[in-house]
Structure 1
Amino acid sequence: MTTIPTVVLVHGAFADSSSWNGVIEILAAEGVSVLAAANPLRGLTSDAAYVASVVDSIDGPVVLAGHSYGGSVISVAAQGKSQVTALVYLAAFIPQVGESALALTDKFPGSTLGPTTRPASYPLADGADGTELYIRQDEFPQQFAADVPAATAAAMAVTQRPVALAALQE
């Protein structure tokens, strides 16, 4: 068993694991073992259970790093996991017990996320409909990717992963 931690990167809403590519390059160049988990974005409990299963598949210590909603996910996923040696929050939600990511987006004046999103329905396993949120493509670069080249932000807008509204409310 190794004593050097594996860094597990957990993306947030509207992104996928490839959003960590730049970080992966830097860590790999330093010889750090890294894995970018594919956060399902469907519910905090189920998303955290998935990330916890990723942690369980790793021999040795783990550092969990979460971005945005991924911060909520790593907070839950780390519970009871003695191999998790650190949690790293990168522009991430660090909720108090009982707080949801959605509540945090509206907690302070000036939040712009809500008005930039659009809802869409998707089918649930029980036959009901769920609601997921997208950031409007024309508003995505400024809302989510203002610090990347315009062409990259435009591609990210097209390939964004929607998040289940229920995940943000949990």
Structure 2
Amino acid sequence: MTDSTPTVVLVHGAFADASSFARVVPELLADGLKVLVPAVPNRSLTGDAAYIASVVRAIPGPVVLVGHSYGGAVITVAGVEDNVKALVFLAGYALEEGESLGELQGRFPDSDLASALVYTPFPVEGSDEPGTDVTVEIDKFPAIFAADVDPDLAKVLAVSQRPLAGAAFAEAAPVAAWKTKPSWGLVSSLDHTINPDVERFGYERAGMTTTEVDSSHLVMLAHPKKVADLIREAVRSVSA
């Protein structure tokens, strides 16, 4: 690999963590690529994007930034960093500048996720008002989030969710990196977490190179080779 070979930064979404890329990482490492999978705080869209942007800035050389689900919204904002050369959205939100997750979702019928969300207060340092954590009902998680993932693994994922603060749903994206960076999008056509039409709309609006996979929301665990192939395509575009 040359100095022009990008580092692949994998950004997880809500109700998941870095382990959601556990089957994709070996594929990329086997190619000799540099890979980083940071933990996203999942506290606010701009805060999460600022954190990922700080991770990206610390990387010497070009970066291919990959976001799954809510991670797509995060890379929409963080992807404006100068060394980000390509974006890859996996069953994700590609927001327009000034648009929130709630606004984009509100244009389409609800997925099965909407009726399975759990809202739990959490203490906010320096405030008398609690925040709200959002998770998925544990018994509904496998069918909604991971229908084609190994059932035993899906049960583990269900009880180890990383919550998303409810405030993130209403926060508008201050920028949209896909306007200036080449972008790829993967639609999970059997998605019950995000309406696949939300994914399609965002990708089409952005003019992305788009592919569809018959997969649940956790496409990285269900179809890691197809995800790795899409990332490879973005890497080749940067390295050419």
| TM-score (structure 1 length as normaliser) | 0.95
- 26-35 or 105-114, which deviates more: 105-114
Q: Verify the 8 A CA contact 1:63 1:87 in the aligned structure 2.
A: yes
Q: Is the deviation greater in 87-96 or in 121-130?
A: 121-130
When structure 1 is superposed on structure 2, of 6-15 and 100-109 the one drifting more is: 100-109
Partner of 1:21: 22
Which residue type is aligned with residue 90 of structure 2? L
Give the drift of 1:9.
Answer: 0.3
**Superposed CA RMSD:** 1.2
Tell me, in whole angstroms, the C-alpha distance in 1 between the residues paired with 2:94 and 2:156: 29
What corresponds to 2:72 in structure 1? 71
| Residue in structure 1 matched with residue 58 of structure 2 by the alignment | 57
Partner of 1:103: 103
Unmatched 5+ stretches in structure 2: 172-240
Task: Please name the residue that 1:85 is paired with.
Answer: 85
Aligned equivalents of 1:147, 1:94: Cα separation in 2:
24
Deviation of 1:157 (Å): 0.3
Tell me which residue corresponds to 1:114.
Answer: 114
Moved segments of 4+, more than 6 Å: none
Q: TM-score, normalised by structure 2?
A: 0.68
Q: Deviations over 1:20-69 (max 9, x none)?
A: 11110110111111101111100011100000010011110000000000
Q: Which has the higher strand share?
A: 1
Cα deviation digits, residues 100-129 of structure 1 (max 9, x gap): 123333431242221111100001112320
Instruction: Measure the CA separation in 1 of the matches of 2:54 and 2:88.
Output: 18
Separation (CA, whole Å) in 2 of partners of 1:136 and 1:9:
26
**Equivalent residue, structure 2, for 1:37:** 38
Distance 2:139 2:93 in 1: 25
Provide the identity percentage. 50
SS of 1:37's partner is coil
| CA gap 1:11/1:124 in 2 versus in 1, 3 angstroms | same
Secondary structure of 2:169's aligned partner: helix
Residue 91 of structure 2 aligns to a residue whose secondary structure is strand
One-letter amino acid of the counterpart of residue 30, structure 1: D
What amino acid sits opposite 1:61 in the alignment? P
Q: Conserved in 2, the CA contact under 8 Å of 1:105 and 1:113?
A: no
